[in-house]
Amino acid sequence: MKKIFLLVLLPILLISCGTENIPQVSKNIESAVFGAPSSKVELTVFADYECPACIYFEKTIGKDLYENYVKTSKITVTYKNFPLLQHKNAEHDALSGLYALSQGKYWEFSLEMYALEDQKKGDIVTDSERVALGKKVWLDPIEMQKSLDEGWYKKQLAKEKQEGEAKGLEGTPSVYLNGTIMKFKSKEEFFGMIDAALKL
């Protein structure tokens, strides 16, 4: 009797284990938010993956911001896409990033996307290249390509862009500290402003 019970139970266990590993893809997502939701310091970053200034920002400030302020739950950071019209790669880059967000891989994918745009220096990036980046961070290539072909996240992208336009954004990156645009000329000044806000 015990053996029969195990034989009946085994397929159920195998099915359960298998389905747990299949990522659930949501087509209804919000902007990427990281850090401590209750923090008194909230940053909102509007960016464009193809924008040279955004690439420079990520290389010089982004990693330290994430490692030292976000992962340590000192602040909250919301990332929003603001693809500029003159950047031909930017919209599909952003849609790829939003697919990665739906799978909990936004930060990992963004690092890869910025690195590729840094190498390309304005040359065309294909969806095949974007999907290849997704595979590097364990995204499903078939589902990712489907999301780009069918424009799953165009509504969310339009929403983020409208939010930027409502603020009068003219360029990227644009960073807001507790709702106020940040004006800084160096990495030290940038983090100094955050540290000052944390002490208030």
Each residue of 111-141: pLDDT tens digit? 999 999 999 999 999 999 999 999 999 999 9
pLDDT, residue 197, reads 97
Sign of CA dihedral 97, 103, 106, 111: negative
Split at pLDDT 50, 70, 90, the class of 16 is very low
Beta-carbon contacts of 198 under 8 Å, excluding residues fewer than 6 positions away, are 40, 41, 74, 75
Q: pTM to 2 decimals?
A: 0.85
Q: Would you say residue 24 has pLDDT above 80?
A: no
- Which pLDDT does position 28 carry in this prediction? 81
Q: Which domains does the chain have, with CATH numbers?
A: 42-199 (3.40.30.10)
| Average pLDDT score over the chain | 89
CA 152 to chain centre: 15
Length of the chain: 200
Q: What angle do CA 30, 92, 19 make, to 5 degrees?
A: 55
CB-based contact 52:174 (threshold 8 Å): no
- For 51-69, write each residue's pLDDT tens digit: 999 999 999 999 999 999 9
